[in-house]
Every structure is written in structure tokens, then in C-alpha cells.
Structure 1
């Protein structure tokens, strides 16, 4: 494999046969509980009390604990990644590249159980400075509850690349292995900003559509500093990551491409048979492609330079941030994010939002405001850009 982009290639022949095909027939065993919702809110650092405080939630219009809209991804096996990552690419690795969500006016409550239908939409091959030839593949997931009610549709983008080529290029340098150490004074500033954001709309009051103006700024939010502790907390909030929480459910006579080998190196692969005895061998904190998030040695082998956070968490921060501003009577109908970089250990993430458009006649049957969001680190590096279209009361 030559260093020149024009000479280095990826064999993508195995991807073509899966384009447009259904994938990942796996589902969770049980409905969600109020504590599952609380665990998610805690892991995403979402202090909105309707998601964790029983007394507060009882007095709200919801009459009890209700899940944030971002929670739909936690009730899925693979959080949208698996239908985007099918097909074999030798010596490859995968990171998340972005998410697009459409919601349908329905909330998730304790006792709900979501089931999914999924398909591999296709892929594009692009040249990147990160890894040379890089695959941007798309997977679609539809989420319905136990009554067949449509909750959400998601399109996830996965980024797949040759790990040796990414290591050779070293886009994320070795400085990522030495995370920033924060002084007490710096941490005090971070905590104050976080607390001010919590107080900005803890009661859940929704701004009126007529009062909102293009150019209005959302209060700044901060998450972090990111650590191994926060990464593990996020990982364990995804229900699929609890031992024995899901099962394969492939219809008779069909083949699920997500059960085929994707081309990950042996040190980044699950052993599904062995995990029946030792669940560590099917647990992404110990084995599998997710283990590089919390294992510095493994992260350095897949071109990441240091331990890093989860794309699905970044998208949840985005959705939760806008929903907090929109209040109890607000609703996000459409959201789209593009991930520019992971959240690395030692960094913090700032979120800044702005109303950029008011749409009196939207495709959702109601007026909406369009809010753009940018996430940056303490050095000003942009790690996510996104927007959401949000309904507000008159």
C-alpha cells in the first residue's frame, strides 16, 4: 500500500451487494424503565428534571418521568451505527460521522419498548487527509413503539478507513495521549457556566414563536472535561451495552450482514461465541471496535491518538441542548449533525446555538424555528455543526 492517495485503494466489493438491503435484525429484550431514562439523562449530563426527578415530573404536563427525544437512540441495538457499517473492508476501523433524525410528535415513557427496521442505504468514497481513501456509508433505522406508533427515523453516517493509513498520516497527533490538566480556577469557571445554563430554563418554559427572532442566541452550554469516567458512564447508558440485554432476531431464511466480519483487526473484534461464557468478550469496553474509546493503546492503533468520546453522545448533547431551550411545550421535528472530530479526553465541549430562520409553513404542519448549533473545544476547534427545526407554542 503506497502512501500516495492515487495508489492506495480500498477493496469495497463486499459493500455493493448489501446496498438497499435490510440489516441488523436484533432487538432489546425488555421495555425501558424510568431508571433507564434517568441513567441516560445522567450520562448525557442532561439536568432537565422531567427526565429524572419524579416529584418535579409528576407536576409537569407529562404526569411523570418522560424520556428526552435523544433517548430513542439508546433503545436501539447499535444506535444507528450497525446498518451503516455492513460489508467487509480489510484492516479497517469505523467512527461515527453524523446523524439525521426525523421525529413524529410522540414521546417515550417508562414501559415503552421500541423495535427497529433497518437498511444499508449505500456509501460514498472520498479522499481525506485523515486516512486517504475513506468510506462514508449510510444506514437507516425506523423506530416504533409496542403499539406500532412511529417515534423516529434516523439516518446515520459511518466513516470507515484503513487503520494503518490513518496511523501513518497521524492527523490526531500524540498530544491527544496527554490530555489537558485543568486548574481549580478553570474548573470553577466551567462549573459556573454549566450552572448558569441549568438555571436558564430549569422550569421548562417555552418561548413563544411570535417572540423569537432570527439572530436570538441560546444560552451557552458546556460539557466536560471529558474523562475515562465520563466515557464509561456514556457507554453504559446505552441499553445494548448491558450484558444480555439484546438478542438476534433474524427472520428464517435471511442473512444479517451485521453478523458478518467487517474487517476489523483481531484486537478490535468481538467473539460472539466466547461471550456466551465470558461476557467480557462481547463487551465493547473490553473488546470490539468500541474499546479504543477507553483504551489508549488501542486508540493509538486506529489513528485516534488518544482516548475519545462517542459520536452518538455528541448528537444527544445537540438534541438535548435545543430541547432544553424549547421547554416542555417545544418539540424537535428534524435534526441533523455533522461530526468534525471526536471529543477527546481532557477537552471540554462548548455548545452555542442561534435562531437562523423562522418557517411559518413547514413540512411538519406547524410553524418551526431553525436553530443552528456549533460545538467547540477550549481551543476553539469545531467538533460538530448541526441544526434542528423546532416547534414552539404561539
Structure 2
């Protein structure tokens, strides 16, 4: 297998198609306070994460890195086209099968990096966050151990009004 044959036309056809979606439980003031207390421990968190009167908006605003899925998701949705897949391939991060495409035959993987881009839209009590994941692109390369496939995924978080809160990107290196 060469790096030229790693990215097939059927794989390119699923780029930017959602393969998974999670919907959070409504965020509570208690969730925000507990998160802030845990993240800042042993110091006290900034008061605007604890007392709504301390914020300019008059409501609690969650820290940027707050994760409403830390306690689970209210609902998880798949793309609905999932193919059966060997568990060993799932263990190396294959996600193409969720969109009805056979993943490349690569048996090892490692994390190539993650990043988050915050839009400035805060999360507040009552917000319900939807996280939708897509394969954002592929890059095939030749590595020291042979062909490698860099798969970039993007998960976009939006609130119930459709405002984008953040975009989380991850690069998966399969070889």
C-alpha cells in the first residue's frame, strides 16, 4: 500500500459530512460552579464563575474550557450508515465506517495534536450544547515505518440558538 492509495474517492466523498452528534443536558449554575472550583483548586476561582452579580451580564458565564459533556450526553446520534467493523480498527480511531465507508487498512494510530478555537460566545445556565463531528480532511504521507494517513476531525459546538461556541480539531495519525 502506498500513500497515494490511502485516500480513496469514497473517503473524499465523506469529508465534512457529520458522523456523530451529541446533545448536552441543560447547563446549570451548579455545573459551572463545580467546574470552576475543580479547575482552580486549590485556589479560589474568579468570583464571576460563582456569583452572577459579579458578571457584567448578570448571569453566570462558564469558563471557556467548560465541558457540558463531562457528566455524559443527554442524547447521542450516529450518522445512521454504520458498517460493522473489526474492533481492532475501531481501537485505532477509524470513523469512516460510521458513514458507510470502509476505513483504510492501517492498524496503529497516535494522536497528532488537538486544538480548540473559541468564538467568544459564552456558555450560560440553561444553554444546551450540540457537538457535531466531521472528518475535515485527509493527508497521506510517507513515514519512517511506511505509509501514514493524517486524518483531521473537527467538532463544532453550538448552543440552542445556533451560535458557534467553539471548534475542537484533532489530527489522528494512522500507520
Structure 2 counterpart of 1:23, from 4, 18, 24: 18
Q: Pick the structure with more strand per residue.
A: 2
Alignment check: 8 A CA contact 1:51 1:65 kept: no
Task: Point out where structure 2 has 5 or more consecutive residues left out of the alignment.
Answer: 77-92, 97-102
Residue in 2 that maps onto 1:121: 136
**Which of 99, 104, 123 is 2:114 aligned to?**
99
- 1:47-73 deviation digits (Å, cap 9, x = unpaired): 562489634x54343545321112258
- Native 8 Å contact 1:51 1:66 kept in 2: no
Query: How has the CA–CA distance of structure 1 residues 92 and 63 changed in structure 2, closer, same or farther, with 3 Å as cutoff?
Result: farther
CA 1:44–1:59 in 2, change beyond 3 Å: closer, same or farther?
closer
Structure 1 residues without counterparts, runs of 5 or longer = 1-5, 78-83, 162-394
Structure 1 segment 242-391 matched on structure 2, within 5 A: none
Could you give the per-residue CA deviations for residues 159-211 of structure 1, whole angstroms, max 9, x where no partner exists?
223xxxxxxxxxxxxxxxxxxxxxxxxxxxxxxxxxxxxxxxxxxxxxxxxxx
Who is 1:139 aligned against? 153
Q: How big is each residue's C-alpha offset from its partner over 1:117-143, in whole Å with a ceiling of 9 and x where there is no partner? A: 4321221123445x5433221122332
Cα deviations by residue, 1:260-286 (Å, 9 ceiling, x for unpaired): xxxxxxxxxxxxxxxxxxxxxxxxxxx
Q: 1:85 to 1:35 in 2, by over 3 A?
A: farther
Report whether the alignment pairs 1:112 with 2:127.
yes
Matched residue count? 148
Structure with the larger helix share: 1
CA contact (8 A) 1:51 1:68 kept: no
Match of 1:158 in 2: 172
Structure number with the bigger relative contact order (C-alpha 8 A, sep ≥ 6) is 2
Cα offset for 1:15?
A: 6.9
Q: Which has the larger radius of gyration?
A: 1
**Is contact 1:19-1:121 (8 Å) kept?**
no
**Does the C-alpha gap of structure 1 residues 91 and 156 become closer, same or farther in structure 2, counting only changes over 3 Å?**
closer
**Using the alignment, how far apart are the partners of 2:148 and 2:159 within structure 1?**
35
Q: What TM-score does the superposition give when structure 1 sets the normalisation length?
A: 0.30
Q: Which residue of 2 aligns with 1:206?
A: none
**Is 1:54 aligned to residue 50 of structure 2?**
yes
3-state SS of paired residue (2:147):
strand
Contact 1:97–1:158 (CA under 8 A) maintained in structure 2:
yes
| 1:70 counterpart = 2:79 | no
2:142 and 2:40 map into 1 onto residues whose CA distance is: 35
- 1:107 deviates by 0.6
Measured in 2, the distance between the counterparts of 1:44 and 1:50 equals: 11
Instruction: Give the distance between the partners of 1:51 and 1:97, measured in 2 at CA.
Output: 36
Compute the TM-score of the two structures, normalised by the length of structure 2.
0.58
Measured in 2, the distance between the counterparts of 1:127 and 1:43 equals 43
